[in-house]
Amino acid sequence: MTLALYARGKGWPLDGVTVRLSHSRIHAQDCADCETKEGKLDQIERELVLSGRLDAAQRARLAEIADRCPVHQTLTSEVKIRTRLV
């Protein structure tokens, strides 16, 4: 949704977006660019398929915008879950 709204605002010819995700658990020590170095981590691999007559610069900008969408920000930030029994 974020990409579609951005492209529409710019008047870019984005016809559709498909996002494919795969999830795995990896050893933290196997992740060179991760802060955590012990235990296991969740790893999500994302593929973006952008449909439409976009040039390379538009495609690159949309990939940057994908990293700024609210869902991506939530998944890459520290998450604290508080449980309350009611």
**Threshold 0.85, pTM exceeds:** no
Q: What is the pLDDT of residues 56-79, one digit of tens each?
A: 999 999 999 999 999 889 888 877
Indicate the Cα dihedral angle 53, 58, 59, 60, nearest 10°: 160
Give me the number of domains the chain comprises. 1
Is residue 62 assigned to a domain? yes
Q: What is the pLDDT of residues 19-65, one digit of tens each?
A: 999 999 988 877 777 777 788 888 899 999 999 999 999 999 999 99
pLDDT score of 32: 77
Q: Let me know: does 3 contact 16? Beta carbons within 8 Å.
A: no
Is residue 85 assigned to a domain? no
CATH number of the domain within which 17 lies: 3.30.300.20
Please list, in sequence order, all residues whose beta carbon lies within 8 angstroms of the beta carbon of residue 8, skipping any fewer than 6 positions away.
Answer: 14
pLDDT score of 75: 85
pLDDT score of 30: 79
